[in-house]
Amino acid sequence: MGLSGWVRNQVDGVVGQVEGEKSKIDHFLARLSSEAPSSSRIFSIIPVEVDSTDRPTGFQIRFSQDRGDQITLVPPDLRLCDDCKNELLGESRRTGHPFINCTLCGPRYSIIQQLPYDRVHTTMSKFVQCSQCQKEYIRLSDRRFHAEPNACHECGPHYIFKSLAGDFSGMSCVSVAVDVLKKGGVLAVKGLGGFHLVCSALNEGAVERLRMEKHRDQKPFAVMFRDRDQLVSYVSLASGELDVLMSPEAPIVLLVNPPYRSLAPNVNPGLSQIGAMLPYTPLQVLLMQDSDIPPLIMTSANIAQEPLIIDDALALAQWGERLDGVIVSDRAIHNRCDDSVVMIIDRTLHMIRRARGYVPDPQYMNDVVEGIMAVGAELKSTFCLGREKLALMSPHIGDLRSPSALAFFEEVFDRLCQLFRFSPRLMVHDLHPDYESTRWALKSGLPCIGVQHHHAHIAAVMAEYDVRQKVIGIALDGVGYGDDGTLWGGEWFESDLLTYDRIGHLPYLTLIGGDRAVNEPWRLALDVLIEHGVSDVDVIRLFSDVSPEKLVAVINARRSSVPYVKCCSAGRWFDAISALLGYCSVQEYEGQAPMIMEQAIDSIDGPLAPYPFGKGAIPSFYPLIAEMLIDIEAGISRGLMSRRFHDTIITIIHDWAVVSRERSGINQIVLSGGVFQNRYLLTRSIEYLKSSGFEVLCSERFPINDGGVSLGQLAIAAARMKDKESICV
Ligand code: ZN
Ligand code: ZN
Ligand code: FE
């Protein structure tokens, strides 16, 4: 544009100086956002006029001086861009090069070892660029200008297919792998943030074998489709889904419509919907080029609750002799990162599992959060570091009750501390004394702050939208530790970041058998029946799939004076009703029972049809259960009963909101907690509340489930610290 100036990366964004005619500069500023690269994220552009003696001619990139504790942001890993894909598949010097990338695509977070983000600080450092790559790297007009992982056939890394039949590299690595997959084989394949286990999603035998190897009986698998055409030949996409599937982040999208062409039935047992993704690495694109390649299962190559495998030697030791091949490469993965999972509601993205493509993008906070380490919850663990005004959330870590996940937590913590030059001064943890994360925080020897679980859920959303004033907070969740020592999870709050009033909650359930009641929802349903006056004979009749001896034992336990733990968790209520309606009496993974019940809902058209219930701050479910039992006896469609139960919960949320608005004047409502991963519940709740004029907020960029708790903890701790300072002043 005939302007001159310079640009530099710094922690709070990009700073540049532009010199030239005023009208040209205005045009430049407009083009800056309208023509920004697809992988960039512009939050705001703040022009400031300066008088400067520093007047460069031409254009300079000024390198971030390494100033001790200063940091720059680390970009997330991004899917192969269309230009690179065309080069990969067309005629170019990188035809078939499985590590092709440019400034718009390729690995970032997964390969970076330290700041600043330069090639020497990544796992690409051992590959010296050939003269042609080097030319691209230093030529300003080239789309590989400063693409740190830049590489080609000559100078870049290589994949090797290793199997008992021998090793294959180059193009035969791909062709041999494709052959194995088409014949129903199972492979382990190195990806961006870890290894995947891969097999045909149409071959029931292959999927069965993968399930056995991975020790995963029923939890659904995500499916990778070659491209848009292959995907729409299986399932019709809802509005907004394709955009997200094809976005640079390329997450797994939980599609709203069930496939109309069948995949192997054991891909998603008992469920109708699937999680889909499109190829995002050059190798995945190459593997799926064959016109006969079926959709592929792509699931992390770990066993059950173990962390993702990233290491070649470990992958070979684990899978080398058990599978039909392992594809390894000499480009190391430094930072483990799972595939992200999202769903789209009303064209808006809602995060379920936040990792590849999104991590480590920060949340900009209004308060200084420097030195705060929020350790999160326990299941779906993430943690959050505070640097200056940035909240940096770790990738999804998993269930900390597994010792190896806890080791992963520590590994990520060490790496992010190093990467972001972070040293913790304050630990923020859940009130639950038995969470591994709480124990870890308390052991640190640093000052600690405890935060109530559901307050953190609400605060996470407030942080995302920078809300300060009081909101109506509805947290429908699994169980979380309440500040009265009981287990909460169906909460109605009025809260800001500092405080919360618990105005009401769902009725309490008894967890007969403690944790076993979580895995065996029939125990919860049995408690509900006994509580609602159903006779032992009828209870035994209603549970045809549980042995009568077991039922009698549990009934006796329930009627005994043993003080069982009680909770008012919405998640446990959904579990109980799913078991009562006969959908799922034993669940293999968290959320299975409610997912099956939700996906069975008959029709989502028409007005809400709730069951009757006793209105109030603690609603009574006696009328609901009584009528549901009549429906069960009358053989009413279970899909309709499922829908009516959902509609009841939606009506309760709405009633609570109306009461809160009347007493306090608050019109802003936050919905949070893992139960809102239920698409029907979330969609219809938002619709109903909006129709009554409420402003409804729920998380988009951070998980609505326990993965978002760490962000809420950080926001609450920052608010408390600021409050303390203001009191001291
Ligand atoms: Zn590219
Ligand atoms: Zn090269
Ligand atoms: Fe929770």
**Across-strand partners of 696?**
669
In this model, does residue 11 exceed pLDDT 70? Answer: no
Looking from the CA of 520 toward its CB, the CA atoms found within 13 Å total 17
What spacing in Å lies between the alpha carbon of 79 and ligand 1's midpoint? 8
Q: What is the mean pLDDT of residues 534-557?
A: 89
Q: In the chain, how many domains are there?
A: 4
DSSP classification of residue 674: G
Residues 65 and 219: their CA atoms lie apart, in Å, by 48
**Is the preceding peptide bond at 56 cis, omega within 30 degrees of 0?**
no
- Specify the CATH number for the domain of residue 282: 3.90.870.10
Q: Does residue 297 belong to any structural domain of this protein?
A: yes
pLDDT of residue 616: 96
What spacing in Å lies between the alpha carbon of 670 and ligand 3's midpoint? 14
What three-state secondary structure class fits 436?
helix
Query: Hey, what are 71's tokens?
Result: 């940091």
Q: Which of 42, 61, 80 is the last residue of a domain?
A: 61
515 and 632, same domain (yes or no): yes
295 and 427, same domain (yes or no): no
- Specify the CATH number for the domain of residue 559: 3.30.420.40
Q: Which of 603, 620, 648 is the last residue of a domain?
A: 648
What three-state secondary structure class fits 488?
strand
DSSP string covering 565-596: -EE--HHHHHHHHHHHTTS-SS-SSTTHHHHH
Q: Does residue 405 belong to any structural domain of this protein?
A: yes
530 and 644, same domain (yes or no): yes
Q: Does residue 145 belong to any structural domain of this protein?
A: no
202 and 294, same domain (yes or no): yes
| Cβ 710 vs Cβ 382: under 8 Å | yes
Q: Does residue 206 belong to any structural domain of this protein?
A: yes
For residue range 634-650, list pLDDT tens digits in order.
999 999 999 999 999 99
Q: What is the mean pLDDT of residues 674-701?
A: 97
DSSP string covering 678-723: -HHHHHHHHHHHHHTT-EEEE-SSS-SSGGGHHHHHHHHHHHHHHH
Among all ligands shown, which has an atom nearest to the Cα of 155? Answer: 2
Among all ligands shown, which has an atom nearest to the Cα of 129? Answer: 2
Q: Does residue 94 belong to any structural domain of this protein?
A: no
For residue range 486-520, list pLDDT tens digits in order.
999 999 999 999 999 999 999 999 998 888 898 99
What three-state secondary structure class fits 423?
coil
- Specify the CATH number for the domain of residue 372: 3.30.420.360
534 and 581, same domain (yes or no): yes
**Across-strand partners of 476?**
490
319 and 185, same domain (yes or no): yes
DSSP string covering 289-320: -STTPPPEEEEESS-TTSPPP--HHHHHHHHT
52 and 166, same domain (yes or no): no
334 and 404, same domain (yes or no): no
**Residue-range definition of the domain harbouring residue 439:** 363-451+704-729
What spacing in Å lies between the alpha carbon of 589 and ligand 3's midpoint? 16
541 and 624, same domain (yes or no): yes
CB-based burial of residue 121 (10 Å sphere; 0-12 exposed, 13-18 middle, 19+ buried)? middle
Q: Does residue 461 belong to any structural domain of this protein?
A: no
pLDDT of residue 185: 98
Confidence of residue 332 (pLDDT cuts 50, 70, 90): very high
Confidence of residue 559 (pLDDT cuts 50, 70, 90): confident
237 and 371, same domain (yes or no): no
Q: Which helix (H) or strand (E) is 341 found in, with range?
A: strand 341-345
Residues 527 and 42: their CA atoms lie apart, in Å, by 52
40 and 163, same domain (yes or no): no
Among all ligands shown, which has an atom nearest to the Cα of 93? Answer: 2
Bridge-based pairing of strands 252-254 and 341-345 is parallel
What spacing in Å lies between the alpha carbon of 157 and ligand 2's midpoint? 10
pLDDT of residue 544: 82
Q: Which helix (H) or strand (E) is 287 found in, with range?
A: helix 282-287
Give the count of beta carbons closer than 10 Å to the beta carbon of residue 591.
Answer: 19
What three-state secondary structure class fits 509?
strand
pLDDT of residue 729: 46
pLDDT of residue 64: 65
Percent of the chain with pLDDT over 70: 98
Q: Does residue 253 belong to any structural domain of this protein?
A: yes
DSSP string covering 101-151: -BTTBB-SGGGB-SSS--GGGBTTTTSPPPHHHHHHHH-TTSTTTT-TT--
297 and 259, same domain (yes or no): yes
Residues, beta carbon < 5 Å, ion ligand 2: 130, 133, 152, 154-155
Query: Hey, what are 705's tokens?
Result: 């489930």
**Is the preceding peptide bond at 76 cis, omega within 30 degrees of 0?**
no
What spacing in Å lies between the alpha carbon of 709 and ligand 3's midpoint? 7
Residues 448 and 455: their CA atoms lie apart, in Å, by 17
Q: What is the mean pLDDT of residues 101-122?
A: 92
Q: Which of 61, 84, 109 is the last residue of a domain?
A: 61
Ranking 70-79, 160-169, 481-490, 684-693 by mean pLDDT, the lowest is 70-79
Q: Does residue 312 belong to any structural domain of this protein?
A: yes
Backbone phi and psi for residue 61, each to the nearest 5 degrees, phi listed first:
-100, 115
Q: What is the mean pLDDT of residues 414-425?
A: 94
